[in-house]
Structure formats: structure tokens, C-alpha cells
Amino acid sequence: MEKHLIDRLTSPIHRFTKQAKSGGIVLGINVIIALVLANSPWSEHYFHFFEHHLGFTFDGKTYLDMPLHHWINDGLMALFFFVVGLELKREIVAGELSNPRKALLPIGAAIGGMLVPAIIYISLNPTGEAHGGWGIPMATDIAFSLGVLYLLGNKVPISLKVFLTALAIVDDLGAVLVIAFFYTSEISLANLGIGLGMLFILYLGKRIGIRHVLFYALIGAVIWCAFLLSGVHATIAAVLIAFMIPTDVQMKENEYVHNIQSYLKKFKRLDPNNKIPTLTEKQLHLLEKINVDTRRSIPPLQRLEHAMHPFVTFIVIPIFALANAGVSLSIDVEQLFSTNIALGVALGLFFGKVIGVAGFTVFMVKVLKLSPYPRGMNFRNLVGLGLLAAIGFTMSLFVTTLAFKNPLYMDQAKIGIFAASILGGTLGYMVLNGKGNRTNKNEKIEVSESEE
């Protein structure tokens, strides 16, 4: 079938967005753009742009009047955390975290990868305002780290990709808990009560079988506003809302397969030789039935995750990077090291992640003997994964905005994040690309659509 011009133009974009590494590439480009703008003659305009206020006025009163920077970090990033929550629930219900034995190693590696960086940072910044940044080096950027790993293609076993994915998801859960308990301002119990009450309504809706996305979207918006006004970070609301999304289906797989086969046979009989240029009414009716049954056979959680993932990956996270990654590199060495923030973040991410991830995994396998290594894993590629876990970009930058209000401290933290992330990503790629990590040709490898 001949492609139209618009199809030929959009096809490369469509193929690019389907690749697992694409999100990391787009994020990297936006980080570079932010750095260039922050160090260009337009730097003043760049920083000032995100200070413009946006709010709503009703009856002479202004509500939710916040700068664009705040809207991005509390609004757009709530969508990011919502998708993170959907991924977490899916993994817990039916993914890598659903089997306690299989989940043990990545959970242990993630805990080590959070504790050791925090300890390194705190040892260098034991007191004062700088101490508050201990949560920054605990985070791993799942999109960027997996993007680098997928660049290696079949040079690394599928088991490593699964391990890093599970590790990064547990790491995200840890970051969410850290934000909830340690980076929350003064709490308004009234607004928090409203938020929790509406969350209970979502729970009841799920229990009685409400599956329409609009129900969860409307009440979710109220919960987000309530949490925002309560002092608890609004992104926590997004994760809690995600956990309320149903995971069950209205039509089981066997019934779905039987129905679809029946519909297709009827569809083919209506125009077996494809002589009618358009569809008949009966064909349209059958296609509508296929659409309805397909929708009933997909859990709302996975439908939402599938629909929102591209938007979050290619719109939300790049905008966040554009708004937060800009840091002036004209800062002199004396200013950069006026505190140990940059050093604590850089060393915490780079050494802390490697020691934590690899060290805890080896301890669990060799000493505690709780679980064997995943198939295809050895110490070399375990260190490689630890290096990739040192890529902290998105989540580390986000925690930075919560930890510090002093622009100098924020710049110091960002430089530490960039240094560790670039070094960790580069060395991680080199270690995993080494001869010792070539996948055995006799090993059966399943290549997902995202890797093709």
C-alpha cells in the first residue's frame, strides 16, 4: 500500500518515539539547550521567563497564582509522578516486583544505591543549610539510564535490562517517600483532610467498579489542588492517585480471543474479495465491537500508562529539564567549593551508587545467599549498572528544587549532578560495552518492540 506524503514525513518521528533510548536522547538535548541559554547573552531573558506568574481570577480573587517554574515543578511533574505511580503499581501487581524472590536483588540494590550516596553526602555536609541536600544523590534517572543501556542493544543480556528497570522503579519509590517525609513544608491539616477524603472517594469508586478515566481525572485534579495547598508536595498526590487506578479487566483473554476470531471471520465474509471501496454498515458495526472488546480487555492502569508515557517522556520531562537544568558555568572555583554541596552530590552519585548497587548485590548473593545472580550477570556488568544508576538528572534536579532556595547552592548541586551523571553514563557505557559483556550467541534473546 502506497504511503501518503504525510505518512512518509511522520514515519521517522513515530519510529524514533517508539525506541527505548529516545527519551534519554531528547532529555539530553534539552539539558544542553538549557545550559547554552543559561550561559548565553540571553541568559537574563531565559531565567526571567520562568518567573512569569500564572493564576486564575474569580470574583476579583486570584487563586493558584504561581510562577511558571512552580507550575512546571508542581503541575507538569505531577503527571510524571503519576506515570511513575502507574509503573510502580503495575510492577507490584504483575511485574518484576510481584515475585518476592525475583524482586529481592533489585530492591536490595536500590536500597544500597540510596543509602550509600546519602551517607557520603551527609559526611561531607553534616550541618547547616547544605545538609538538606542529602536526598539529591539518592535518585536515578530511569529514562536516561535505560536509554544508555538500550544503546548497547544485544551486547548486554535481557536480564540486565530487567534488573536495572526494577532497580530504577524501586529507586523512584524511595525518592517519592523521601519527598513525602523529608521535603514537605508546614502542613495545613484542613486541606490535607480534603485531599485524603477525595482519595477515599477514588478508592470507593475503584471498589464498586468505576472504570471511566474521567471520574479519576476530575477527582484527581481536586486531590492535586488540596495537596498543593496543604504543604505536602503535590507530586505525592499524583502517586497516590495512580495507586487508585483499577488493574482488573472486564473481559478475560480467552473470551477476548474467541470474540475477535468470530468478528474477523464475519468481517471477511462480508467482503471476501475486497471489492467494496468503503466499509459496509455491518463491517463498521463489527469494528466497533472489536474496539469495545479491546477496551474492556485492557486494564485502565495499563491503558493510561500507555497513553501518557509518550507525553511525559517527550513533553513533560524535556520542559522540566529546560526549566531546571540551566546553570551558569561562569561560577568561579572558589564559589563552587564554598560549600561541599557540589562535592557531596558528585561523589555521592558517582561512588555512592556504584558502591551501594554493586556492594549490596554482592553481599546479598555471596554472603547472605538470598538469591543467585540473574542469568548473564557478572561483577563487571554489575559495576556497569551501578555507573548507569549514577545518572541522576531528572529526579536529582527535582529534589534540588525542594532542598534549596539559595541560587548558589542550587547551582552547586546542579554542577555536581551534571558531573556525576556524565561521568557515570560514559563509564557505564564503556564498561558494559567491553568484551566481557558480549551476549552469548546461543542465548535466546527476546527483543521487544521498543528495541527494534
For the chain of 452 residues, list the mean pLDDT of each consecutive stretch of 10: 67 70 83 91 92 87 86 89 88 80 87 96 94 93 80 78 85 87 83 94 94 92 91 85 92 94 90 82 92 93 91 90 84 87 96 95 91 85 93 89 92 93 93 66 38 36
Question: Residue 1's pLDDT is what?
Answer: 53
What pLDDT score does 435 carry? 59
Residues 39 and 166 in one domain: yes
What is the predicted pLDDT for the residue at 96? 72
In a domain, 258, yes or no: yes
Whether the CB-CB separation of 399 and 139 falls below 8 Å is answered with yes
The Cα 331–Cα 158 span in angstroms is 43
Residue 27 maps to a domain? no
C-alpha cell at 378: 557478572
Q: Domain check: are 167 and 70 in the same one?
A: yes
* Domain count of the fold of the chain: 3
Interior/surface letters 126-151, b for 16+ CB within 10 angstroms, e for the rest? eeeebebbbbbbbbbbbbbbbbbbbb
173 located within any domain: yes
* pLDDT confidence of residue 146: 80
152 plus 274 within the same structural domain: no
Does residue 340 belong to any structural domain of this protein? yes
Q: Using a CB cutoff of 8 Å and minimum separation of 24, what contacts does 119-128 make?
A: 119/352, 120/344, 120/347, 120/348, 120/351, 120/352, 121/344, 121/345, 121/347, 121/348, 121/352, 122/344, 124/340, 124/343, 124/344, 124/347, 125/339, 125/340, 125/341, 125/344, 128/339
Question: Domain check: are 60 and 167 in the same one?
Answer: yes
Contact 449, 169 (CB under 8 A): no
Question: So what's the pLDDT on residue 20?
Answer: 64
The pLDDT assigned to 440 comes to 45
What is the number of H-type helices and E-type strands within the chain? 21, 2
Shared domain check, 382 and 258: no
Looking at the fold, whether 44 and 163 belong to one and the same domain comes out as yes
Q: Which domain holds residue 264?
A: 253-293
Q: Please list the alpha-helical segments (H only) found in 142-252.
A: 142-151, 158-182, 189-207, 213-230, 234-242
Does residue 399 sit within a domain?
A: yes
The answer to whether residue 298 is domain-embedded is: no
> Is 283 in the same domain as 352?
no
Same structural domain, 287 and 336: no
Provide CB contacts within 8 A for 446, sequence distance 6+.
158
In a domain, residue 447? The reply is no
Instruction: Classify residue 372: in a domain, yes or no.
Output: yes
Q: Are residues 176 and 197 located together in one domain of the fold?
A: no
Who contacts 312 (Cβ-Cβ below 8 Å, separation ≥6)? 79, 80, 83
